[in-house]
Amino acid sequence: MSSTRTKENEASLPLGNGQIAARLDEVAELLESLDENPFRVRAYRVAANCIRNLHEPVHAILQREGRAGLTCLHGIGDVLARAIEHLALTGRLNVLDQLHGLIQPEQLLATVPGIGPELAARIRQQFQIDSLEQLEQAAYDGRLARVPGMGTKRLQAVRDTLAGRLRRRPHLPLHSPHRCGQPPIEELLEVDQSYREKAAAGQLRQIAPRRFNPKGEAWLPVLRMRRGNRRYTSLYSNTAQAHKLGTTHDWVVIYWKEDEREGQVTVVTSGSGPLKGQRVVRGREAECEEFYQHQATRNAGPNGYT
Protein backbone atom coordinates (compact mmCIF):
# COMPACT_ATOMS: atom_id res chain seq x y z
CA MET A 1 0.00 0.00 0.00
CA SER A 2 1.36 3.43 -0.91
CA SER A 3 2.16 6.07 1.69
CA THR A 4 -0.56 8.27 0.17
CA ARG A 5 -3.16 5.55 0.68
CA THR A 6 -1.92 5.01 4.23
CA LYS A 7 -2.22 8.72 5.05
CA GLU A 8 -5.75 8.76 3.62
CA ASN A 9 -6.72 5.84 5.82
CA GLU A 10 -5.18 7.39 8.93
CA ALA A 11 -6.97 10.67 8.28
CA SER A 12 -10.39 8.98 8.08
CA LEU A 13 -10.07 6.46 10.90
CA PRO A 14 -12.04 4.82 12.33
CA LEU A 15 -13.76 3.69 9.12
CA GLY A 16 -17.49 4.20 8.73
CA ASN A 17 -19.89 1.31 8.26
CA GLY A 18 -20.26 1.96 4.54
CA GLN A 19 -16.49 1.83 4.02
CA ILE A 20 -16.20 -1.39 5.99
CA ALA A 21 -19.06 -3.00 4.05
CA ALA A 22 -17.50 -1.97 0.73
CA ARG A 23 -14.20 -3.68 1.67
CA LEU A 24 -16.03 -6.86 2.67
CA ASP A 25 -17.97 -6.84 -0.61
CA GLU A 26 -14.69 -6.44 -2.50
CA VAL A 27 -13.26 -9.51 -0.75
CA ALA A 28 -16.35 -11.48 -1.76
CA GLU A 29 -15.98 -10.39 -5.40
CA LEU A 30 -12.31 -11.36 -5.54
CA LEU A 31 -12.93 -14.71 -3.86
CA GLU A 32 -15.73 -15.38 -6.31
CA SER A 33 -13.46 -14.52 -9.23
CA LEU A 34 -11.08 -17.22 -7.98
CA ASP A 35 -13.92 -19.77 -7.66
CA GLU A 36 -13.35 -20.00 -3.92
CA ASN A 37 -15.72 -21.85 -1.60
CA PRO A 38 -19.17 -20.27 -2.18
CA PHE A 39 -19.91 -20.47 1.55
CA ARG A 40 -16.87 -18.29 2.23
CA VAL A 41 -17.98 -15.83 -0.46
CA ARG A 42 -21.46 -15.70 1.02
CA ALA A 43 -20.08 -15.17 4.54
CA TYR A 44 -18.39 -11.94 3.46
CA ARG A 45 -21.51 -10.74 1.66
CA VAL A 46 -23.75 -11.45 4.62
CA ALA A 47 -21.31 -9.64 6.91
CA ALA A 48 -21.18 -6.67 4.52
CA ASN A 49 -24.96 -6.42 4.41
CA CYS A 50 -25.17 -6.65 8.20
CA ILE A 51 -22.57 -3.92 8.78
CA ARG A 52 -24.13 -1.67 6.16
CA ASN A 53 -27.51 -1.76 7.90
CA LEU A 54 -26.36 -1.25 11.48
CA HIS A 55 -28.00 1.58 13.39
CA GLU A 56 -24.70 2.64 14.99
CA PRO A 57 -21.05 2.76 13.93
CA VAL A 58 -18.92 -0.35 14.29
CA HIS A 59 -16.33 1.61 16.26
CA ALA A 60 -19.03 2.58 18.78
CA ILE A 61 -19.92 -1.07 19.30
CA LEU A 62 -16.26 -1.93 19.74
CA GLN A 63 -15.75 0.85 22.25
CA ARG A 64 -18.77 -0.22 24.29
CA GLU A 65 -18.67 -4.02 24.04
CA GLY A 66 -15.37 -4.94 22.44
CA ARG A 67 -15.11 -7.62 19.76
CA ALA A 68 -17.83 -9.63 21.52
CA GLY A 69 -20.31 -6.98 20.40
CA LEU A 70 -19.63 -7.87 16.78
CA THR A 71 -20.01 -11.63 17.26
CA CYS A 72 -23.56 -10.99 18.45
CA LEU A 73 -24.45 -9.61 15.02
CA HIS A 74 -26.08 -11.69 12.29
CA GLY A 75 -23.60 -13.77 10.29
CA ILE A 76 -20.44 -12.54 12.06
CA GLY A 77 -18.31 -15.10 13.89
CA ASP A 78 -15.08 -14.67 15.79
CA VAL A 79 -12.80 -14.72 12.71
CA LEU A 80 -14.79 -12.10 10.81
CA ALA A 81 -15.25 -10.04 13.98
CA ARG A 82 -11.47 -9.91 14.46
CA ALA A 83 -10.97 -8.89 10.81
CA ILE A 84 -13.70 -6.22 10.99
CA GLU A 85 -12.25 -4.80 14.20
CA HIS A 86 -8.81 -4.51 12.61
CA LEU A 87 -10.30 -2.97 9.46
CA ALA A 88 -12.38 -0.42 11.35
CA LEU A 89 -9.51 0.78 13.51
CA THR A 90 -6.58 0.58 11.07
CA GLY A 91 -8.13 0.75 7.61
CA ARG A 92 -6.39 -2.49 6.67
CA LEU A 93 -7.88 -5.89 5.85
CA ASN A 94 -5.21 -8.55 5.56
CA VAL A 95 -7.21 -10.91 3.37
CA LEU A 96 -7.88 -8.09 0.90
CA ASP A 97 -4.19 -7.17 0.74
CA GLN A 98 -3.37 -10.83 0.12
CA LEU A 99 -5.93 -11.12 -2.67
CA HIS A 100 -4.66 -7.96 -4.35
CA GLY A 101 -1.12 -9.35 -4.26
CA LEU A 102 -2.23 -12.79 -5.37
CA ILE A 103 -4.22 -11.89 -8.46
CA GLN A 104 -2.26 -10.63 -11.46
CA PRO A 105 -4.15 -9.06 -14.41
CA GLU A 106 -3.80 -12.18 -16.58
CA GLN A 107 -5.00 -14.37 -13.73
CA LEU A 108 -7.97 -12.11 -13.12
CA LEU A 109 -9.00 -12.19 -16.79
CA ALA A 110 -8.55 -15.96 -16.90
CA THR A 111 -11.13 -16.42 -14.13
CA VAL A 112 -13.86 -15.40 -16.57
CA PRO A 113 -15.50 -18.44 -18.25
CA GLY A 114 -14.46 -18.63 -21.90
CA ILE A 115 -11.11 -16.94 -21.30
CA GLY A 116 -8.25 -19.28 -20.45
CA PRO A 117 -4.67 -18.34 -19.49
CA GLU A 118 -3.40 -18.08 -23.08
CA LEU A 119 -6.31 -15.96 -24.25
CA ALA A 120 -6.05 -13.79 -21.14
CA ALA A 121 -2.37 -13.12 -21.83
CA ARG A 122 -3.16 -12.28 -25.47
CA ILE A 123 -5.95 -9.88 -24.48
CA ARG A 124 -3.74 -8.24 -21.90
CA GLN A 125 -0.90 -7.74 -24.38
CA GLN A 126 -3.04 -6.65 -27.31
CA PHE A 127 -5.46 -4.29 -25.55
CA GLN A 128 -3.59 -3.38 -22.31
CA ILE A 129 -6.55 -4.56 -20.24
CA ASP A 130 -5.85 -4.75 -16.50
CA SER A 131 -9.29 -5.01 -14.92
CA LEU A 132 -12.67 -6.66 -15.33
CA GLU A 133 -14.22 -3.23 -16.00
CA GLN A 134 -11.90 -2.76 -18.98
CA LEU A 135 -12.60 -6.30 -20.15
CA GLU A 136 -16.33 -5.65 -20.06
CA GLN A 137 -15.89 -2.50 -22.15
CA ALA A 138 -13.90 -4.52 -24.73
CA ALA A 139 -16.68 -7.12 -24.78
CA TYR A 140 -19.16 -4.46 -25.87
CA ASP A 141 -17.13 -2.14 -28.09
CA GLY A 142 -16.07 -4.85 -30.56
CA ARG A 143 -12.44 -5.39 -29.56
CA LEU A 144 -12.99 -8.74 -27.88
CA ALA A 145 -14.98 -10.01 -30.84
CA ARG A 146 -11.85 -9.59 -33.02
CA VAL A 147 -9.84 -12.03 -30.91
CA PRO A 148 -9.45 -15.39 -32.71
CA GLY A 149 -11.62 -18.06 -31.11
CA MET A 150 -14.00 -15.60 -29.49
CA GLY A 151 -17.26 -16.68 -31.10
CA THR A 152 -20.71 -15.20 -30.51
CA LYS A 153 -21.72 -17.64 -27.76
CA ARG A 154 -18.43 -17.31 -25.91
CA LEU A 155 -18.58 -13.53 -26.12
CA GLN A 156 -22.11 -13.53 -24.69
CA ALA A 157 -20.98 -15.82 -21.87
CA VAL A 158 -18.22 -13.35 -21.02
CA ARG A 159 -20.70 -10.47 -21.02
CA ASP A 160 -23.14 -12.35 -18.79
CA THR A 161 -20.42 -13.31 -16.31
CA LEU A 162 -19.08 -9.77 -16.07
CA ALA A 163 -22.55 -8.30 -15.68
CA GLY A 164 -22.97 -10.47 -12.59
CA ARG A 165 -19.57 -9.81 -11.08
CA LEU A 166 -19.45 -6.08 -11.69
CA ARG A 167 -22.97 -5.12 -10.72
CA ARG A 168 -23.20 -2.92 -7.65
CA ARG A 169 -24.29 -4.94 -4.66
CA PRO A 170 -27.73 -3.72 -3.60
CA HIS A 171 -27.85 -2.36 -0.06
CA LEU A 172 -30.59 -4.71 1.05
CA PRO A 173 -32.38 -3.89 4.28
CA LEU A 174 -32.43 -6.62 6.90
CA HIS A 175 -36.04 -5.76 7.68
CA SER A 176 -38.86 -3.98 5.91
CA PRO A 177 -38.17 -0.49 4.50
CA HIS A 178 -40.16 1.25 7.24
CA ARG A 179 -38.54 -0.60 10.13
CA CYS A 180 -35.13 -0.13 8.52
CA GLY A 181 -35.77 3.61 8.17
CA GLN A 182 -35.34 3.91 4.43
CA PRO A 183 -36.29 7.26 2.87
CA PRO A 184 -40.00 7.73 2.10
CA ILE A 185 -41.20 7.13 -1.44
CA GLU A 186 -42.28 10.74 -1.88
CA GLU A 187 -38.79 12.00 -1.06
CA LEU A 188 -37.05 9.48 -3.36
CA LEU A 189 -39.32 10.42 -6.27
CA GLU A 190 -38.65 14.11 -5.58
CA VAL A 191 -34.89 13.50 -5.71
CA ASP A 192 -35.32 11.48 -8.93
CA GLN A 193 -37.33 14.27 -10.56
CA SER A 194 -34.86 16.95 -9.51
CA TYR A 195 -31.96 14.92 -10.90
CA ARG A 196 -33.57 14.28 -14.28
CA GLU A 197 -34.69 17.88 -14.72
CA LYS A 198 -31.26 19.31 -13.88
CA ALA A 199 -29.46 16.71 -15.98
CA ALA A 200 -31.64 17.56 -18.99
CA ALA A 201 -30.95 21.27 -18.46
CA GLY A 202 -27.18 20.69 -18.34
CA GLN A 203 -26.95 22.08 -14.81
CA LEU A 204 -25.00 19.20 -13.23
CA ARG A 205 -21.33 18.34 -13.00
CA GLN A 206 -20.45 15.40 -15.25
CA ILE A 207 -18.01 12.63 -14.43
CA ALA A 208 -16.19 10.04 -16.56
CA PRO A 209 -17.35 6.55 -15.50
CA ARG A 210 -14.89 3.65 -15.70
CA ARG A 211 -17.31 1.24 -17.36
CA PHE A 212 -18.55 1.56 -20.96
CA ASN A 213 -16.45 4.64 -21.52
CA PRO A 214 -13.37 3.75 -23.60
CA LYS A 215 -12.52 7.38 -24.40
CA GLY A 216 -12.76 8.47 -20.78
CA GLU A 217 -15.35 11.13 -21.58
CA ALA A 218 -17.12 13.00 -18.80
CA TRP A 219 -20.77 12.40 -19.71
CA LEU A 220 -22.50 11.07 -16.56
CA PRO A 221 -24.33 13.82 -14.60
CA VAL A 222 -24.14 13.66 -10.80
CA LEU A 223 -26.41 15.41 -8.31
CA ARG A 224 -25.69 15.75 -4.60
CA MET A 225 -28.38 17.17 -2.36
CA ARG A 226 -29.73 17.06 1.19
CA ARG A 227 -33.21 16.53 2.56
CA GLY A 228 -33.21 16.99 6.31
CA ASN A 229 -30.59 14.66 7.78
CA ARG A 230 -30.35 12.59 4.62
CA ARG A 231 -27.71 13.14 1.95
CA TYR A 232 -28.35 11.96 -1.59
CA THR A 233 -26.15 11.25 -4.61
CA SER A 234 -27.96 10.53 -7.88
CA LEU A 235 -26.72 9.42 -11.30
CA TYR A 236 -27.97 7.53 -14.33
CA SER A 237 -27.42 3.78 -14.31
CA ASN A 238 -24.25 2.77 -16.17
CA THR A 239 -24.72 -1.01 -15.96
CA ALA A 240 -24.52 -3.57 -18.76
CA GLN A 241 -28.27 -4.17 -18.50
CA ALA A 242 -29.06 -0.46 -18.80
CA HIS A 243 -26.88 -0.19 -21.91
CA LYS A 244 -28.43 -3.33 -23.39
CA LEU A 245 -31.99 -2.04 -22.88
CA GLY A 246 -31.18 1.56 -23.84
CA THR A 247 -32.24 2.91 -20.44
CA THR A 248 -29.04 4.73 -19.49
CA HIS A 249 -31.03 8.00 -19.48
CA ASP A 250 -34.06 6.56 -17.71
CA TRP A 251 -32.85 4.43 -14.81
CA VAL A 252 -31.63 6.63 -11.96
CA VAL A 253 -29.55 5.17 -9.13
CA ILE A 254 -29.94 7.08 -5.87
CA TYR A 255 -27.49 6.56 -2.99
CA TRP A 256 -28.58 7.85 0.39
CA LYS A 257 -26.91 8.23 3.76
CA GLU A 258 -28.30 9.22 7.15
CA ASP A 259 -25.89 9.22 10.08
CA GLU A 260 -24.09 5.83 9.80
CA ARG A 261 -26.84 4.17 7.78
CA GLU A 262 -26.84 4.15 4.00
CA GLY A 263 -28.38 2.41 1.03
CA GLN A 264 -29.29 2.68 -2.62
CA VAL A 265 -32.37 2.41 -4.81
CA THR A 266 -33.06 2.50 -8.53
CA VAL A 267 -35.91 4.57 -9.94
CA VAL A 268 -37.29 3.60 -13.37
CA THR A 269 -40.22 4.31 -15.65
CA SER A 270 -42.70 1.47 -15.31
CA GLY A 271 -43.43 -0.22 -18.62
CA SER A 272 -46.53 -2.20 -17.67
CA GLY A 273 -49.25 -2.68 -15.09
CA PRO A 274 -51.19 -0.03 -13.17
CA LEU A 275 -48.11 2.18 -12.90
CA LYS A 276 -47.24 2.14 -16.59
CA GLY A 277 -45.52 5.39 -17.54
CA GLN A 278 -44.97 6.39 -13.90
CA ARG A 279 -41.66 6.64 -12.09
CA VAL A 280 -41.32 3.81 -9.55
CA VAL A 281 -38.74 2.73 -7.00
CA ARG A 282 -37.71 -0.85 -7.70
CA GLY A 283 -38.68 -3.22 -4.92
CA ARG A 284 -41.18 -0.72 -3.48
CA GLU A 285 -43.79 -0.75 -6.26
CA ALA A 286 -46.71 -1.23 -3.86
CA GLU A 287 -45.70 1.87 -1.92
CA CYS A 288 -45.39 3.81 -5.18
CA GLU A 289 -48.89 2.76 -6.25
CA GLU A 290 -50.26 3.85 -2.87
CA PHE A 291 -48.42 7.18 -3.18
CA TYR A 292 -49.82 7.90 -6.65
CA GLN A 293 -53.35 6.95 -5.55
CA HIS A 294 -53.08 9.28 -2.57
CA GLN A 295 -51.71 12.01 -4.82
CA ALA A 296 -54.62 11.61 -7.26
CA THR A 297 -57.15 11.77 -4.42
CA ARG A 298 -55.50 14.84 -2.95
CA ASN A 299 -55.52 16.61 -6.33
CA ALA A 300 -59.19 15.79 -6.97
CA GLY A 301 -61.83 18.44 -6.35
CA PRO A 302 -64.65 18.15 -3.79
CA ASN A 303 -66.78 16.23 -6.32
CA GLY A 304 -63.97 13.88 -7.25
CA TYR A 305 -62.90 15.83 -10.36
CA THR A 306 -59.38 17.10 -10.92
Residue 93, amino acid: L
- Residue 304: inside a domain: no
pLDDT digits (tens, 9 = 90+) for 18-75: 889 888 987 887 787 666 778 888 899 999 999 999 989 999 999 999 999 999 988 8
18-32, 125-139, 189-203, 261-275: least confidently modelled range: 125-139
**Is the residue at 118 inside a domain?**
yes
Q: What is the pLDDT of residue 295?
A: 85
Which of the four pLDDT bands, split at 50, 70 and 90, describes residue 260?
low
Q: Which of 131-145, 233-247, 289-303 has the lowest mean pLDDT?
A: 289-303
Last residue of a domain, one of 83, 102, 121: 102
Q: Number of folded domains in the chain?
A: 3
Which band of pLDDT confidence, cut at 50, 70 and 90, is reported for residue 1?
very low
Q: Residue 3: its pLDDT value, please?
A: 40
Its pTM stands at: 0.48
Give the integer Cα–Cα distance in Å for 6 and 88: 14
CB atoms within 10 A of CB 200: 11
DSSP code of residue 279: E
pLDDT digits 0-9 by tens, 84-137: 999 999 988 888 777 766 667 777 788 788 888 888 888 888 887 877 778 888
The answer to the question of residue 171 being in a domain is: no
Alpha-carbon distance of 273 to 196, in angstroms, equals: 23
Query: Does residue 253 fall inside a structural domain?
Result: yes
Any domain includes 305: no
- What pLDDT is stored for residue 170 in this prediction? 42
The residue from 77, 102, 127 where one domain ends is 102
Residues forming a β-bridge with 221: 206
**Structural domain includes residue 23:** yes
Average pLDDT over residues 199-226: 89
- Tell me the CATH number at 162: 1.10.150
pLDDT of residue 302: 56
Cα-flanking dihedrals φ and ψ of residue 122, to 5°? -65, -45
Residue among 195, 197, 222 at smallest CA distance from 208: 222
Nearest CA among 159, 166, 126 for reference residue 143: 126
Tell me how crowded residue 228 is: count the other CB atoms within 10 A of its CB.
Answer: 8
What percent of the chain lies above the pLDDT cut of 70? 85
Say yes or no: 215 and 143 in one domain: no
50: domain range? 3-102
Q: In which band, very low, low, confident or very high, does the pLDDT at 192 lie, cut at 50, 70 and 90?
A: very high
Burial (CB count within 10 angstroms: exposed 0-12, middle 13-18, buried 19+), residue 163? middle
Of 80, 102, 124, the one marking the end of a domain is: 102
* pLDDT, mean of residues 253-266: 82
Strand partners, 230: 227
Question: How does residue 267 score in pLDDT terms, banded at 50, 70 and 90?
Answer: very high
Higher pLDDT, residue 223 or 177 = 223
* 10 and 84, same domain (yes or no): yes
Decide if pLDDT at 232 tops 60: yes
Could you give the CA distance from residue 306 to residue 297 in angstroms, rounded to a whole number?
Answer: 9
Q: How far is CA 285 from CA 78, 197, 241, 273, 303, in A?
A: 39, 22, 20, 11, 29
pLDDT of 283 reads 80
Q: Please give the full DSSP string across 57-107, using - where no structure is assigned.
A: -HHHHHHHHTTHHHHTSTT--HHHHHHHHHHHHHS--HHHHHHHHH--HHH
How many helices (H) and strands (E) the chain has is answered by 15, 6
Query: pLDDT band at 154, cuts 50/70/90?
Result: confident
When pLDDT is cut at 50, 70 and 90, the band that residue 213 belongs to is confident
| Residue 250 sits in the same domain as residue 157 | no
